Amino acid sequence: MGVMINGTYQTDDPGPETSASGAYERAKSTLRHWITPNGPFTPEPGRYHLFVAWNCPWAHRTLLVRALLGLSDAISVSVAKPARTDQGWVFDAFGDFSDPQLGVQSLHEVYARQTPAYTGRITVPVLWDKHSQQIVSNESADITRMLCIAFDPKRRLVPEGLETQIDTWNTRIHRDVNHGVYRAGFARTQEAYDAAVTDLFAALEAIDAHLATQTTLTGDHLTEADLRLFPTLARFDVAYHYAFKCNLAKLSDFPHLWDYARAFYALPGIADTVKPEIYKAGYFSRSDLRNPLGIVPKGPKVDWTAPTDRHITWT
């Protein structure tokens, strides 16, 4: 992931942060400006650029908004190479994993342009303002909400009247599911791992039961909460189940949740954001703690195009 101190990139990455009990703690994002109609960052098509990586679930949620709202022309994107190096997230000189916006070779070069000098983790996603040549935000939750509202006057993904329900779902999904798989995968004690896996599967079972009578998390309407859940579901069977020891069950063992996930996948533009082979290569990359030999498994085979019993409408 990499870290920067006072604007200087450090190749000696300290690794995931853990508490005294061995529990994984995700570093907080610190660059958190907002796009607003009257602020310094206004919602102008063509003004903003996203730096992302296919294998990052936090970046995935921003790509989902971009796809659903048809923002490909309004917000350009650079995709980092799937495998990080000692330079963190890096780019090729040409091709699918190059940076057409700034022409940088590594993401820390983008962070180095920040004023005042940046100190913190070098993470994706990054929302970049082409006008001021500064980072607007590196917090995925904020970027997702900004895109949902600032670039869609109809607020289709965060409709008025559903904000409280959406935020309640977002809180639980982040704590027990999105972050929960990392709490399990990066746990450094048996107790921390057991607690994480218990919370994760309790949440998945509750969501599965909820979806037995609901088309989406909030009823019949697709919302930001669904976008926050899907990236973890997309990676679950091919990565988290094995690499992060989240193996009490597979996603495909939850009938309603699996049906819902495939219905979401069938929405226009979503399949193009799902990259199972990249997920496997990333999560099974060499790690002294998790996968010392760096062997990437061939399976499992996951059929995202299998017929579903539900239909999620989106206009």
pLDDT at 309: 95
pTM: 0.94
Q: Residues 135, 34: contact at Cβ < 8 Å? A: no
Any catalytic annotation for residue 56?
yes
Domains and CATH numbers, the chain: 3-150 (3.40.30.10), 163-283 (1.20.1050.10)
Give the residue-averaged pLDDT of 284-303: 89
**Selection from 212, 177, 169 nearest residue 198 by Cα:** 177
Q: Which of 21-30, 83-92, 195-204 has the lowest mean pLDDT?
A: 21-30
- For 58-83, what is each residue's pLDDT tens digit? 999 999 999 999 999 999 999 999 98
- For 13-31, what is each residue's pLDDT tens digit? 666 666 656 665 666 778 9
**Selection from 31, 40, 51, 44 nearest residue 110 by Cα:** 51
Q: Which of 34-38, 78-82, 164-168, 282-286 has the lowest mean pLDDT?
A: 282-286
Which position among 24, 56, 242, 265 bears the catalytic label?
56
**C-alpha 176 chain-centroid distance:** 15
pLDDT at 2: 79
Any catalytic annotation for residue 148?
no
Does the pLDDT value for residue 57 go beyond 80? yes
Which position among 48, 111, 118, 182 bears the catalytic label?
182
Does the pLDDT value for residue 98 go beyond 90? yes
